[in-house]
Amino acid sequence: MRADIADLAAESVAGTTGERYHNRGDFLHRLAVTARRPGFALLGAETTVLVGCAFGFPMGSEGSGSRGSDGTLQEIIQRLTSRARFVVLTQVVDHPHVQHRDIARRPQQRLLTELHSSPGITLLHPADRAGQAAFSSWGWQNMGEVVGLPGSVAPCVLTLSAEGQPSARR
């Protein structure tokens, strides 16, 4: 199934400006790393083939996190949302065909519901305008760039509540 998910991820950005931020090898690495996290969950959407998926893990009081970059991320998200517990959606993928345009919304919502957590959090490269537009169309709110996390670029933090409404900045 890894190969099917990686194929879908590559198809979902092919020919878009977001393509340069979504390498197949990087995607498979994120999936492997995330799959080792406590509470990892992956939900797929299928017709006769895989058309969408979302995966991630909980962080906070009962989830993972508290050391190193996890602790820094947890502190930042708690400041932005006033929530100590949240789900990090590592990847959301949907089929690029117009009929499946909103298929990724359902796995996102179900993942947040099944992990009993709100809000959902994702990090995107600030120049990934196509990714940001997709998440915005699914109801995510861009909270801005976050400084202090590992990496050469300060990622944008996007939030989504389990009810599908963006998490309010408090």
**pLDDT at position 20, please?**
60
pTM of the complete model: 0.77
Nearest alpha-carbon partner for 92 in 146, 41, 58: 41
Checking if the pLDDT of 146 tops 90, the result is: no
Residues β-bridged to residue 86: 59
Q: Which residues of 77-91 are buried (b: 16+ CB within 10 A; e: fewer)?
A: beebbebebbbbbbb
Q: Tens digit of pLDDT for each residue in 88-130?
A: 988 777 766 655 556 767 788 888 888 877 789 999 889 888 7
Nearest alpha-carbon partner for 77 in 69, 7, 26, 17: 69
